[in-house]
Amino acid sequence: MRILTVGAGAAGGYFGARLAQAGRDVTFLVRPRRVEALRARGLRVSGPGEKIVLDPRLVTADALEGTYDGSSRRPCCP
């Protein structure tokens, strides 16, 4: 199953990282400047007694190709 996570901030980053850590095929849809930062520092998730750093699979909107079986996205507020 291919999963597209929209954004790699607090919500998208956390849930996408957990899915990736569990071995799922996760790609993060991010803005070009965010790609640079994530490639340089990795995706970091920390909590009580835990800190993980992932090298996530990234894509920008203009390079998005193919289909995904599921998506994880932030809730939208009016």
Radius of gyration of the CA atoms of the chain, in A: 12
Predicted local distance difference test score (pLDDT) of residue 66: 86
CB atoms within 10 A of CB 72: 19
For the chain, counts of helices (H) and of strands (E): 2, 6
Walk along the chain (78 residues) and give the pLDDT tens digit of each residue.
899 999 999 999 999 999 999 999 999 999 999 999 999 999 999 989 999 999 999 999 999 988 888 765 544 444
Question: Distance of alpha carbon 76 from its chain centroid, rounded?
Answer: 17
State residue 67's pLDDT score. 87
